[in-house]
Amino acid sequence: VAWVIIIGVLLVAIGPVLYVIPSKRDKQLAALRARARVSGLAVDISYIPNLNATGSDKVSAGGKKRDARIKCTTYTLVLPKQMQEAPGWHLARSETDNVLIAGWGRIGAVHRISISDSGYWNTVRTIVEALPGACIAVRATPYEVSWQGLERLDGQSIDQVVVEIKAGLEKIAKLHSQIDKERQLPPSRT
């Protein structure tokens, strides 16, 4: 009987300590985020609308409205200078709204680019589809370009995932920089 009490006391004392010890996944995420920060990306946790939400995701059985959002990590490449004339958009994986890119829907409005500009959207599609790490959304503004995802390595190294995320964001930034520069040129007199 005494040994049962001793084991019970030890479990009560050690249990909370074991609870706060980081898991292998927690350590992986910390390393991934630290590596992203070192590479120049800002990292934070955010929520995006769930474009694939079902009725039960949006309203409870009791009729209360639910906020159908997905918690994700955002890796942001802050642009060296503001690009006022560059396109702005926020895309997320979607099974329904596939107007711009198959498998991707719009969160909010698209700014400073036509939704019918197939050349632009094909270029963006190629970049976005190559993004690693369970990417579920990509956002572009005049100030920054962001990857939003669930941070899965899928057998890749931490360095490889960070390099590929940053490279994809830099490709979008370069595309937008070209568009911004072209739009700021004076009209030709031909």
pLDDT of 148 reads: 98
Mean of the pLDDT values across residues 26-48? 97
Exposed / middle / buried, residue 15 (Cβ in 10 Å: 0-12, 13-18, 19+): exposed
**What pTM, to 2 d.p., does this model score?**
0.86
pLDDT of 190 reads: 59
pLDDT band at 14 (very low <50, low <70, confident <90, very high): confident
pLDDT tens for 159-169 read: 999 999 999 99
pLDDT band at 119 (very low <50, low <70, confident <90, very high): very high
pLDDT band at 54 (very low <50, low <70, confident <90, very high): confident
pLDDT of 13 reads: 86
Gyration radius from the chain CA atoms: 22
Using the predicted structure, report yes or no on whether residue 176 has a pLDDT greater than 80. Answer: yes
Q: Name which residue leads in pLDDT, 66 or 105.
A: 105
Using the predicted structure, report yes or no on whether residue 111 has a pLDDT greater than 80. Answer: yes
Contact 142, 81 (CB under 8 A): no
pLDDT of 15 reads: 79
- Measured CA to CA, the distance from residue 165 to residue 153 in angstroms comes to 12
